[in-house]
Structure 1
């Protein structure tokens, strides 16, 4: 019982705080007949409670509150222009020239909710129903819903039409009430952009493509072996050079518990190629022992570097995986090559790349920097070795005589 009395209000308070943080921030454009004290917030964004306190100060003079609520609105809508350089709110901007007291708050949290929390009678109407009748509710707060977008209407033209309707309704209300406060805002924001980067941006070496790009690669997954190519390979011999269309069906042969042999085939009318990759493992690493191709029923062993390895749980990746035989008359190119044997699940681990951390551009930059430092050091040393004069002639005294030994 004590648990519920103590912890339940605390949990509800935390949940309420989180929901408040998740609320959207929308712009608020306010003007009125009476002078409004401009409150400069300490933060860039104004919370719902702070905006409610501001409204309570404005309501001390008991004005007629007229609220125009768009479905979506953002500060970017106030900044956009058409081809003629005109904004979507020319009449709202003219209110400043008409000596109306205008204030603008670009980011306010849930202003409609703050208005409804005021201890005032609230009436909600659509813009269409208000324009069709001349009777205006006499309640303290009138919220007019501007969600009347047409199917073939652009957003810029819709906002411009609303701009004209807002000023027209305001002038009609002004004839009935001497003290009027008008608020133009929205329920949701129309421009959504992430404010904080919640993940690190890494150079992707895995088979997963970027979000805005379609992955056209080929991925193989069979018997705890993963193989990936960004596109079809290319086989070149002394006589011809042909693209090879590798199918997604490939064979895996396991000899014992440590060795794998992967066989990827390309079979066409004029070319038959089989790529055989053999793996072995040690205590902590796995290695590519050999890669061979079968070209027109003739086995060709390709040169394999000792650097084709990775720790367990990691994959090996090379953007341009190009292998040749000893005589260099046959070459095999596998673009975006990535492979990993002994995979516990169906996903690639972090990749060991064939290009080391100190690549050719990095070495070039270090070499140029070293030469520059050497030149600067030599110049400073020569400047520090310059000896200045320490004896000067006195025109009224005896002439200084310097011997050859000095």
Structure 2
């Protein structure tokens, strides 16, 4: 395991965080795929109690992390701001955090500035990722309050009180594309979100405790750091085995496109479904437990069970049957679609009426007809379909069990009618809106200019000339006066 430990830093500078983490990463003799870092600090003017670090090579577990949090919250501010990133590893700081004193290359200026202003930040470079997954539940138990999932825009509308504890959770994305810049840009965007949140908290003058961690380690970042030489030492391009490693890296980075899930009736395909990622999560004990259904639904040689599915000219129902999902022996994911003729548009449209989760006799229903629709002869495609954070799927009611679930589709595409044949989708109707913010700005500016021009023309048309003029060579115009 990696020889990492906890560092309790006082008056840390913006560069020292990156240098410190870079030094810890240089000591790694193995991959840190099972560990995530956790950084905790307080607002300016408050401090955390000193805590003795564990021995070198020790990974902080769930119980030990709970004791650290309990000791910090017993003395420090009880308004907690939790930045929860999807994935993160210590390599993210060594690669993009301005390591070796190069401050200009850092993508964490707001994070480093917050640590510099805090009197006693706490850095845990090695926390087991199951422990980081339980951090929301631990904070909820210690603060005795429910978490509030926020966005930077809605935070300004919230009024906090120093005497009343609050748990504010901000989800941050993470993804690694085919090049290194994609991860760098995402981390830079996350740092901007952190800066916006901390700026809003500063305006409210409420002391707070901030925590920055992740749900899972970013294995992609760890592998990229080894390839970039940030922890694996230098090697010549002509070194033995370099070409083989390069070939394996290219094969690994090559995206795999699998066939969609299809349901056939009378040897004819009538329903198609495809997604790059499919995950479901359930809220238990104040924390979200996630299960990835992608390997059992899509992939080479994978044939999911679709018994119970049906289709006709007006209704289509795709049922995906799974086993042992999040502790439920029987678990089904159901897509209910319908198509009808609309007189206004003079054409037929299909809608995804509902996405249902059936598990052990209970049904959770999400309504999708408000946002997910397309012409009947087209397929529907959207980059992200979820019931949280810009949701396209909405629970039927506040009492529906769907409020305890999260469903997430990445690069989602579905077609339930007029399938052309085989495993080919028809032309896709994308969910991306036609009017972008730039187009709206142009339209509003043009409308304002038209209104100004119309008002000016109206004023010019109201001008009237005199019907008689004074001729200096002729008799003067006399105006009779009446008393």
TM-score where L is the length of structure 1: 0.38
Greater radius of gyration (CA): 1
